[in-house]
Each structure stands twice: as C-alpha cells, then as structure tokens.
Chain A
Amino acid sequence: MSVLPAMVEAFRGEWRERASAESRLLPQGKLSGPMPWVIAIMIGLTVVATASGLALRNTASVASADVAGGVTVQIVHGAPRERDRQAQAALASVRSAPGVVSARLVPQAELDALVEPWLGTSAGDDVNALPVPALIDVRLSGSANEAQLAALRTRLKAPAPAARIDAQASWLAPVFKAIGGLQWLASGLIALLAFATVATVLLASRNALTNHRTTIEIVHMLGGTDTQIARIFQRSMAVDAAAGGIGGLMLGLVAIVALGRQFAALGSGMMTSTGLGMIDWLVICCIPLAGVLLAVLTARLTVLGALRRML
C-alpha cells in the first residue's frame, strides 16, 4: 500500500536532485537578465487586452439580447389629441398581433425624462409646443425581422396612419459594429503581444546561448545531451516567466479594476449592466500560465535549434 507513495517520493527526490545538479551547470541569475520584467509587461498588457475583449463581448451580448426582440412604434402627429387617439388604437392593435409578447405605451413622464437633457422641463422651456411623438415599446417573442415589421406596418396602417415602426436593434447596429471592431482589435493586440513575447524569449535564449557557449561546449564534450542543456534554459525561463506572469497578472488586475470603476462611473446602462463573469476571470487568470508555457516552449525550441548546429 505504501509502495506507490514511496516510489513517487523517490522519483520526486531524484528529479529534484537532478534538477538541482543541472541548474548548477549554468549561472541561473545571468541567463535572462531583465526577462521577468519584460514578461510582466507583456502579460499585464495581455490581461488588459483580454479583459477588454471579453467585457466588450459581454456588453454586445447583453445589449443584443435586450434589443433583439424590441420594436418601437412612434406615432408622429402634430395634433396631441389625434396623436393620443392613434396611439391608443395602435396599442390595442399591436397587443393582439401574433408574436407580440407585450406592448406598453411609454408614459408622458418617461418621454419628458428622455427629452429633458435637450429640451428642458422648467417654466419657460416651451417643451409642450414641440410635437414629441407617442412611443409604444413592443416586445416580440423572437428577434425582430423584416417580415414581422412589415406585418405590423400593414396592421397599423388603418388604425394609426401616423405610426412609424422600427426595430430597436437597427438603431444599435453601428454600436455593435464598433464593438465588433474593438473585439478584433483586442484579439489582434493579444496575438501581437504573444508574438512579441516569443520574439523576446527567442532573443534572450540566443543571447544566453552566446554568453554561455564555452560552458555549453564543455558540457557537450563531457557527454551532455542537447536535452539536458535545453532543460537548464527551460527551467530558467519558466522561473522568469512565472515571476513575470504573476507580476503582470497583478498589474493587469489593478488596471481592470481601475477601468471598471471608471466605466461604472459613467452611469451608462450598457456599461454597468455588463462585466466579467466567472469563466472570464478564469480565462484571465490562465494568461500567465499560457505565458509560461509559451516562453518555455520557445526557449526549448530555440536552444535545441541552436545546439543542433553545434557538433
């Protein structure tokens, strides 16, 4: 029963011993110089870019879900009495239309609040003289499509000839397009940062190889294998990347929290209703791990490639 743990412990001891002996072959502190700092910056930027991309995706997703089944009916008429009559007629007609889940006439108070920033409501502001349309907020069971909009237009033509029907999603289409563009930008940034990390590790590995060429030649002459030498570089790079990764993650998290607070302060419904979910935080926390793996793999391939050119 105790054989397996004993074997595992023996293997771990042996591995630790070998790792310690191998790590002494090259001076560890001088392998990669400022590498942890560079990796910290790369990881920090990647964390911010990833968080931004994910937050934008969530924003677009929530906003899209909110407005996908939304249709706005505007009754645009200069005479308030006729406008109200058509609004009531349209409301009754829309409620009985197929596919409509709910319909509500937006109260005057809400309309006033909507136009207040531009027109004002205090005495002297001639808001009542302006023909503000009556609005009906309609919710469909699915996404609003052209066929449904056309059916509603036909249905309202007789009871409310002044009605204008628009899908709410069409108003936000340019916003979604811009968000999509920003998401692509975030993905591009992440790819560029990964590329820059690979390039930095590659240069650092080559530099370390050049600096330690004599020692490597000696180790080779004594029967050292390429894999043994590559392991030393990998281990050093893993330590540097882990240190830089943790530092970069902390840096990125501070930036995300600060940015989150800034957006929350905007008070915009779109910005405050979204954020990062559990999976998103998990993805962000995995970035340093991915950075370490990328750095270690790059170091290994670079060192093995360079050693292959030596006898």
Chain B
Amino acid sequence: MNQPDDAEIVHFDNVGLRYGTGKEVLTDVSFTLYSGRFYFLTGASGAGKTSLLKLLYLAQRPSRGLIRMFGTDAITLPRENLPGFRRRLGVVFQDFRLVQHLSAFDNVALPLRVAGVPEREIVRPVTDMLEWVGLGDRSHARPATLSGGEQQRVAIARAVIGRPDMLIADEPTGNVDPDMAVKLLRLFEALNRLGTTVVVATHDVHLIQKMPESLIMRLDKGRLSDPTGALRYPPRRVSTPPRPEVLGA
C-alpha cells in the first residue's frame, strides 16, 4: 500500500467566489490538501460544494484569494498551461457530462485520446475498466441508452482511466444502488492506495461512514468548517475504528 505523504497538492488561502455581481457563494475558504489522502467534502445542498469543486478542477477562477495546485499558483496560471494541469485531475461531474454521440467505450477512452495515447494502448485498459464497473457488455451503448447509474459508472470510469494525481468526484454515488456505491467507493479507495488524492463531495453520511480513514471538510453557507481536523497540519485522523465489513474483510 502506498503511504500518504505530506506533499501539499492543493492550497486555498482566503478564497472567495461570486458569480457575476451576486453575493459570495464561497467566503474565506482556506485549506490544504495533501498528496495521497482521501477527503470527503460535505454540506447541505447549496452550501457551495460544487462551486468549490469547480475551483479545484480549474473550471472557475476565484473572485479573490490564492490557490496553489501542484506547487504552482493556479490563479496566474497561463491559459495554455491549464490542459497539462487538467490531465493530472480526474473529475466525476454531478451531471456526468458524458459526450452523447460517443459510446461508453469512447467516453471512457476520451482522456487517453486527449492525452495523445496511441490507439493500440487504449483498447485494453478501457475494456478492463468498463468490465470493472460492470459495463463490459454495454461498451458500445450511447449514454442516452444507459440508465442513470450506468452513466454514472461510465463517468467514474472516465475519471479514473488516466490514473490521475487527484480524483474529484461530485456526488459520485448519487444514482447507483448501495452495492454499486460501495463497489465504486472501493475503486476510489484502491486508487487512493495507489497514491491518488481523492476528494469526494457528498452528503451521504453512510458513504462517509464506510471510509473511517477519510478526512472530512464541511461547507456551510459557503464557509468551511473542520470537523475532523483535516484542514490542520498535520491532519488529525478520525479516531473511530473502522468496521470490519467496511474494510472488505
């Protein structure tokens, strides 16, 4: 198992975000994420989870504050350098954002093709990944013919296929049955064990309980609280012992 290290991967300092001239949806958000750790981002609907994730996956610039990612100032990052950073991220969008005219296979292969991976090196990992998420027999299906849960699994497969440095998932188990949710969580955990930093936004308490080793960030009306000490350095680990069934024993 790959041990988490203390390398800073993301640092937010007094970050604020407002859309247009509206009021701030994120206020004075400051935290540091460390490489190889597993984070849950919780909060009620409208608390600002998706907005915070947008800042994390560089889809939005903050209105104020400082953001450092992978040791680089993300605010002043030249636009032409953004693709290189984004290729280090895997993102599971809340609305899946699958390309409708592409098959499940092509959707999952998309990050590899964008990264210029030769076609002969794409087939095997994509097929394996689709098998893993239980969609081996639906690889040629278009998103419109897939159920919500199946689409979500395709979105997750797409996010993890490139072995990203950081996986960001917005409500990744919202549309799948409990068994599949646990399976997907195990996939995230396996990736995390391989060194990928995982940030999962959810308000599913049961899901969080299944990962007792995780660190929790809670958003409340755009402000961040720190129930597990995840935002302090060194992060305080949750003391609750993990349940045996959660560990997959």
Q: Do A and B come from one complex?
A: yes
Interfacial residues, chain A to chain B (CB-CB below 8 A) = 14, 17-18, 20-22, 24-27, 214-215, 217-226, 228, 308, 311
List of B residues within 8 angstroms of A221 by Cβ: 57, 59, 86, 91, 97
Stretch at the interface among B5-13, B41-49, B111-119, B185-193: B111-119
Q: Inside 8 A of B110's CB, which chain A residues have their CB?
A: 25, 218-219, 222
A sample of 28 inter-chain contacts (CB < 8 A) reads: A17-B118, A20-B119, A21-B113, A21-B119, A22-B113, A24-B113, A25-B99, A25-B110, A26-B101, A214-B97, A215-B99, A217-B97, A220-B86, A221-B91, A221-B97, A222-B86, A222-B111, A222-B158, A223-B85, A223-B87, A224-B114, A225-B80, A225-B83, A308-B79, A311-B58, A311-B59, A311-B61, A311-B82
Taking the complex as formed, is B207 at the interface, i.e. its CB lies under 8 A from any CB of chain A?
no
CB of B24 to closest CB in A, whole Å? 19
Given A26-B101, A218-B99, A219-B110, 11 additional A-B pairs, CB 8 A: A20-B119, A21-B113, A24-B102, A24-B106, A27-B101, A215-B99, A217-B97, A221-B91, A223-B83, A223-B87, A228-B114
Chain A residues with CB under 8 A of B82: 311
Give chain B nearest CB distance to A13 CB in angstroms: 9
A-B contact count (CB 8 A): 62
Residues of chain B whose beta carbon lies under 8 Å from any beta carbon of chain A = 57-61, 79-80, 82-87, 91, 97-99, 101-102, 106, 110-111, 113-116, 118-119, 158
Q: Which residues of A contact B84 (CB under 8 A)?
A: 223
Which residues on the B side are within 8 Å of A218 (C-beta)? 97-99, 110
* Contact in complex: A223, B115 (CB < 8 Å): yes
A199 to B111, CA, bound (A): 34
Distance in angstroms between the alpha carbons of A43 and B119 in the assembled complex:
38
CB-CB under 8 A from B115, the residues of chain A are 223
